[in-house]
Amino acid sequence: MMQSDSTCEPTTRAREFPFAELSARDGRFRKLYSRYQLGPLPSSDIRSEDVQQVLEQLVEVSRNSGSKWPLSVREVGRSFEGRTIQLASIGRGDCHVLLWTQMHGDESTHTSVAFALLNTLVRAPESLDGDGQLLDRCTLHVLPMLNPDGAQRQTRENAQDLDINRDAVALDTPEGNVLRNVVRELRPAFGFNLHNQRADKKVEGSDRVAILSVLAPPLDEADRETPSILRARQLALEMFACGERFLPGHSTRYEAGYMPTAFGEWVQAQGTSTVLLEAGGWVDDAPGTREELHYVTLLTALAAICEGELAGVDAGAYLSLPLNQ
């Protein structure tokens, strides 16, 4: 019987992972991506109906497979124009992890990545980690496409012309209310706030495109440090390192001040260790695709959470990561 891990503190001491070993794991995750990616691509073509269809199909596959980690899907709310917003959950661990994608309607990369992640967890859950215990330790909740009306129009804002990511306090949008309710209900230990940044963002002091940027949103103006936010910084560092192994010199820390009306800040303040992940522009001769990089990065983050790898990461290094320009 698995021992439960309600605080999500590492169950094993941090291990020293040599670069070669991590690269080998990246390679394994990349093979999983090529096997389990789902359309439609480009991800900007994904609409609310596609999300519903993919989730329905995955529930069916999961049911027929008799997996000990069945996928469940439920409606958690509706958009301003009445489109359904669904939450997919898989796993039976006490460590709850929440990912939400596309709160900006024209930022679709991670919705496609979320499909691939869920497809992998449904069809090949044991292939993720050596001991097959990720879904015993964690329960993963995915909210793909929080802003289906914006996705329909390919706009950042929702159908009220409001930016959901500036609505964490006013709560004028139905979509913002959905996210807030889900966070309040699940009280996740970890949160992933998934976005696309402008394609012309560069790594500071260089001409290199920033293909991956991370941010542990601050708790307040004074940037107060708590165990929860230090864990978020450790996680951000793991994700940054994954980007650097994929294409050295093209990952950054996302530069942003404290924004009390943004959801990253609000979720962080709930005690959920939260990381903002931005997919950036692309380098044509990069080894793979944007979706593949972000799939591998999120799998790496999940592995770090459930394998106890965060314990050995020096959170202080977060502040010296290269910034966007």
Applying CB under 5 A, among 5, 26, 50, 107 the residue interacting with Zn ion is 107
Tokens of 241: 């390192």
**Range in contact with Zn ion (rule: CB under 5 A) among 133-141, 194-202, 246-254, 262-270:** 194-202
Query: Is residue 46 a contact partner of residue 112, using CB atoms and an 8 Å limit?
Result: yes
What length does the chain have?
A: 325
Nearer of residues 62 and 268 to Zn ion, judged by Cβ: 268
Give me the least distance between CB of 256 and Zn ion, in Å please: 11
Report residue 102 as tokens.
Answer: 């596309």
- The candidate with the shortest Cα–Cα distance to 212, out of 223, 201, 220, is 201
Contacts of 197 (CB under 8 A, 6+ apart): 210, 213, 254, 278, 279, 280, 324
Q: Which of residues 195-214 bind Zn ion (CB under 5 A)?
A: 195
Q: Is 265 an interacting residue with respect to Zn ion (CB under 5 A)?
A: no
Q: Tell which one of 25, 83, 104, 110 touches Zn ion (CB under 5 A).
A: 104
Helix (H, G, I), strand (E, B) or coil at 140: strand
Q: Which stretch binds Zn ion (CB under 5 A): 22-30, 48-56, 188-196, 281-289?
A: 188-196
Least spacing, CB of residue 30 vs Zn ion, in Å = 25
User: Closer to Zn ion at the Cβ: 69 or 100?
Assistant: 100
Q: Which residues, 6 or more positions from 3, have their beta carbon under 8 angstroms from its beta carbon?
A: 11
The vertex-321 CA angle with 240 and 311, nearest 5°, equals 60
In angstroms, give the least distance from the CB of 277 to Zn ion: 10
Whole-angstrom Cα distance, residue 159 to residue 156? Answer: 10
Residue with the CB atom nearest Zn ion in the bound state: 195
> Please, what is the minimum distance in Å from the beta carbon of residue 198 to Zn ion?
10
Of 218-237, which residues contact Zn ion (CB under 5 A)? Answer: none
User: Site size for Zn ion, by CB under 5 A?
Assistant: 3
Give me the phi and psi of 67, to 5 degrees please. Answer: -60, 145
Q: Which positions lie near Zn ion, rule CB under 5 A?
A: 104, 107, 195
